Amino acid sequence: MKLLVVLLAAVSLCAGEDIPQVPGDNSHYVEGVSRYIWMPDGDEVPHLVDLHEPVDESVLNERNGANNEYWLFTRRNPNSRQVIRRNDVNSIRNSNYNGGRPLMVIVHGWNGNGNSGMNALIRDAYLAVADANVIVVDWRGPANGLYNAAVRAVPNVGQFLGDFLVWLINNGGGNWNNVHLVGFSLGAHVVGNAGRRAGGRASRITGLDPAGPQWGGNGNALRAADGQYVEAIHTDGGFLGIMDPIGRANFYPNGGRNRQPGCSNSNCSHGRAPYLFASSVRTNHFNGRLCNNLNQAQNNQCTGANLRMGNSILNKRGSGLYGLTTGASWPF
């Protein structure tokens, strides 16, 4: 480990940029300029990422969305997953999937997996308020390893997810007006690509602090047209999250950036988005106010019309930029 740090330091000095030493502290980071950034994994542990590190193309070919796993949870099996496999109709029939119920899909971010804490947090919140099908997508193969490789894998992972959802609804029943896709960080861009692949039919798509590094101006990023209603909840804009209003509705709690109340660094601020969303599903108490522009949103100076942030309402609709203030601890 000491040798690795020395080697990284040598590379950094050659590149003219010092390696940040304090885990989770991204105060040095300048979007589009900085080479290094601290990123949390699925357990919220920070890792130093080299945004200039080259990607092995052979790894990309091996790690794609064909290896996605789809874990079903319902009120009949709230804690024990049932795996549904695409093109295996019996895996639907032998599960608790019910096409007459809402379908919520949760997608983790970089270095996460189906067991990452954010999945259970959101799953439990949703099942507490709705008798629904909740599918947790495990895309750990492409997600784990180099961040740059995971970024490159996102479109393929999302396309496979989109194809799976089309197959599931065609063979297991369901209604696109009852579909809500939720993704955190890189997972936000995954659900965007899934919604696009499915023809924009999903009723709702929610991006939880969509990943920022390498996503500004990226054509594979989450878009406002990827679903009937697409929202983004920004909590670490300009660092680990994207500040741009890429959804149809964009929420900027506490200015949409570090430091979120109760947080000491951007890793915490980035990870706050799933908690805010889970809380909103349970209580629907976050009241966004329409902003005239992004500057108002960043400074929490918005006084326009109201729109609730998050929640589980499938026919929710709205557009624009919204600012609001939250608390520092659950339920915020």
- Residues known to be catalytic: 185, 209, 270
In this structure, the strands spanning 133-138 and 103-107 are parallel
- Torsion 120-123-129-130 (CA) sign: negative
- Report d(CA 73, CA 134) in Å as an integer: 5
Alpha-carbon dihedral of residues 56, 57, 62, 66, nearest 10 degrees?
130
- Residues 143/111, Cβ–Cβ less than 8 Å: yes
**Three-state SS letters, 224-241:** CCCCCCEEEECCCECCCE
How far does CA 256 lie from the centroid of its chain? 15
**AA identity, residue 191:** V
Strand positions, DSSP E, 185-229: 204-208
- Report d(CA 150, CA 94) in Å as an integer: 33
In this structure, the strands spanning 249-253 and 230-233 are parallel
In this structure, the strands spanning 306-308 and 287-290 are antiparallel
